[in-house]
């Protein structure tokens, strides 16, 4: 049970690190790739769809706005909602934008706000309407929902997320030139896109979700944690092998005379092994189930105090994750140890000859 507990805890920890790195990469980049302008807006002549391997694109406009004369000041990200849905569709980074942001005719403009913007003296709370100043226009807006994070906007900051399509539909003369472009390019490499981007838009930079994730997973701190977890699992497995083998061997030795008597009554080798399985199997299964439940429960309880947010460099919270294959391998190893111990116990049980056991009974 202790080994199953350590195995389940370790598996949950490793899966959490991997999924957190993935989530951080998606939040930081917003797509598989993102083009960032170093000079305000990107050139009008720039066609991101012409970059190698690009299947879909979505433009984004980012600015800092202030509501009214004394209202809150916050970051605003306006993205082509329908196009962005195509960029991230089917990926783990899909933020599943509310349907209201995909309707180009919406008025007032629906806005996603951060928890920090929805609190405090100048809070913009869900359901509240206000005027959103952009490019010399005042757009009627309505706070739709609060979200912990959306693509590329800082976690813990004051920000709002809107649809660029809806803004331009309401005020067609508003240009809102893209300051960033999100790319879907599953078959492309960052090097090939960077090379083409250097020719098309000198000075622009490319951010890659895969590179962000690889940097987090490959950091020395995360590597040390993964090594420590693996070492703990190996040590636990070694202790389990010793404990299971010793316990079942001793149990087999204690039952050797009884099994010898049963052999006199016709007990076969297969039946002797089956007897050992029936005797110890349910205990092993119950211990495995209890150990897995205890390990996962301990991870859930202890996760807030493990400092994983500081380790990964982001406070993004994800749900409990378990790698079924990884956990299955751990449980399979424990079952193999138990099976080996049962086999050793069954072999020890046959070390006493039936005739010697019968004479010992008369003695």
R_g of the chain computed on alpha carbons: 31
Selected residue with higher pLDDT from 320 and 132: 132
Confidence of residue 195 (pLDDT cuts 50, 70, 90): very high
pLDDT of residue 248: 66
Question: Among the listed ranges 108-112, 148-152, 337-341, which one has the minimum average pLDDT value?
Answer: 337-341
Instruction: Tell me the mean pLDDT in the region 118-126.
Output: 89
Write down the domain spans for the chain: 2-22+217-362, 38-203
Instruction: Tell me the mean pLDDT in the region 9-18.
Output: 85
Per-residue pLDDT tens digits for 260-283: 556 655 666 666 667 667 776 788
Q: What is the pTM of this model?
A: 0.78
pLDDT of residue 362: 44
Instruction: Tell me the mean pLDDT in the region 349-362.
Output: 54
Per-residue pLDDT tens digits for 22-65: 989 999 999 999 999 877 899 989 999 999 999 999 999 999 99
Confidence of residue 153 (pLDDT cuts 50, 70, 90): very high
Confidence of residue 254 (pLDDT cuts 50, 70, 90): low
pLDDT of residue 2: 80
Selected residue with higher pLDDT from 314 and 116: 116
Q: What is the mean pLDDT of the chain?
A: 84
Tell me if 307 sits within 8 A of 215, measured CB to CB.
no
């Amino acid at each position: 049970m202790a080994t199953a507990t350590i195995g389940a805890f370790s598996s949950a920890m490793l899966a959490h690190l991997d999924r957190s790195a993935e989530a951080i990469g998606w939040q930081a980049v917003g797509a598989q790739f993102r083009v960032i302008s170093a000079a305000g807006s990107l050139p009008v002549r720039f066609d991101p769809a012409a970059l190698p391997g690009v299947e879909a694109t979505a433009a984004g406009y980012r600015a800092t706005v202030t509501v009214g004369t004394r209202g809150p000041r916050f970051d605003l990200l306006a993205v082509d909602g329908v196009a962005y849905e195509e960029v991230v569709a089917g990926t783990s980074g899909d933020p599943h934008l509310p349907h209201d942001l995909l309707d180009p005719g919406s008025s007032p403009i629906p806005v996603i706000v951060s928890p920090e913007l929805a609190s405090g003296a100048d809070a913009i709370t869900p359901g509240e309407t206000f005027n959103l100043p952009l490019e010399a226009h005042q757009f009627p807006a309505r706070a739709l929902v609060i979200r912990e994070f959306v693509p590329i906007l800082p976690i813990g900051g004051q920000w709002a997320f809107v649809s660029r399509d809806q803004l331009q539909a309401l005020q067609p003369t508003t240009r809102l030139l893209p300051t960033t472009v999100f790319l879907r390019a599953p078959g492309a490499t960052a090097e090939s896109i960077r090379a083409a981007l250097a020719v098309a838009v000198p000075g622009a930079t490319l951010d890659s979700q895969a590179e962000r994730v690889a940097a987090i997973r490959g950091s020395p701190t995360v590597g040390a944690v993964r090594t420590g977890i693996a070492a703990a699992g190996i040590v636990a497995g070694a202790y389990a092998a010793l404990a299971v083998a010793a316990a079942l061997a001793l149990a087999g030795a204690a039952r050797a005379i009884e099994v010898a008597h049963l052999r006199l009554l016709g007990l076969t080798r297969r039946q002797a092994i089956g007897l050992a399985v029936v005797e110890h199997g349910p205990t092993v299964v119950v211990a495995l189930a209890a150990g897995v439940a205890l390990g996962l429960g301990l991870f859930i309880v202890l996760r807030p105090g493990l400092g994983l947010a500081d380790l990964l460099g982001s406070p993004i919270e994800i749900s409990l994750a378990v790698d079924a294959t990884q956990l299955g391998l751990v449980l399979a190893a424990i079952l193999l140890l138990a099976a080996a111990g049962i086999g050793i116990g069954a072999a020890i049980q046959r070390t006493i000859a039936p005739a010697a056991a019968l004479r010992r009974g008369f003695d």
